[in-house]
Amino acid sequence: MEKQQLTQTNSKTRIGGLNPFITIIILIAIGECIYHFVLGAPSNFKGETTDSDPKTFMGIIHKGGVIVPFLISFLLMVIVFSIERFFVIGKAEGTDSLTKFVNDIRLLLDKNDINNAISLCDKQKGSIGNVVKEGLISYRALANDTTLDKEQKLVSLNKTLEEATTLEMPMLEKNMTILATIASIGTLVALMGTVIGMIKAFFALGEGGGSPDAAALSVGISEALVNTALGIGTSALAIIAYNFFTSRIDTLTFKIDEIGLSIQQSFSAHH
């Protein structure tokens, strides 16, 4: 019972990262502030009002309309959650090279030097260090257990490794769905802004009769293109970030499985 409570407590401390709900609300508010006070600053417009023609590139972006603040918020989310995942996954990988750690653990397992292997896990730290340490502690306990046969010990060892891995995975995958969602909906939200801009452009075209208002027409087209550019750029960054971090998580998971298999093979060979 004490061991179970300790494991639950440790799993809670391992699950880190930003609170997604609070972070998203804050970034949406920041996006609105950037739209109104930075992009909408009087110095960005010829008449020093947002109703006048833009004078700078930031003024042009502001002319993108009401969808722009949401796209800016999406971009901020991609940046913030990417930075957060970078540090969290980096911490999960531990202090040393994953390949070197795996090789060192294998060498110690070949010598059946479990105590030094556990010490190496303490130095490595991170998710991989936590999982391997749990497996090695179970290995040492089962080696001295006389109540179970070899097959039962291997089953118990495998279960310990699987449970330890399961406890670490939420920390690795937390907030990844946000990047995946932005990658999917970023272009759709931008498409909404594009459609709104084109509606304005065609409305200006129809209002002018035989001689359309070129200024109103250009404003509508500009709004459409600004939203398209922001949406595509944000979605592209989200896709790149998601694939990059997914690859790192897969590599870490593979290394954990690789060491887990080595631990089971070593136990089978020595006991």
Kindly report the backbone phi and psi dihedral angles of residue 12, in degrees, each rounded to the nearest multiple of 5, phi listed first: -70, -35
User: Per DSSP, what are the bridge partners of residue 54?
Assistant: 45
pTM, two decimal places: 0.85
Per-residue pLDDT, averaged over 192-205, amounts to 84
Q: Per residue in 56-109, pLDDT tens?
A: 989 989 988 899 999 999 999 999 999 999 999 999 999 988 889 999 999 999
Q: Where along the chain do its domains lie?
A: 2-270
The two counts, helices (H) then strands (E), for the chain are 10, 0
Q: Per residue in 31-63, pLDDT tens?
A: 999 999 999 999 999 888 888 888 898 998 998
List all residues 6 or more positions away from 188 whose beta carbon is below 8 Å from its beta carbon: 231
State both tokens at 138: 């179970």
pLDDT band at 16 (very low <50, low <70, confident <90, very high): low
List all residues 6 or more positions away from 20 whose beta carbon is below 8 Å from its beta carbon: 174, 175, 178
- Alpha-carbon distance of 132 to 84, in angstroms, equals 25
> Do residues 217 and 204 touch, judged by C-beta distance below 8 A?
yes
Q: Per residue in 135-178, pLDDT tens?
A: 999 999 998 888 888 899 999 999 999 999 888 888 888 899 99
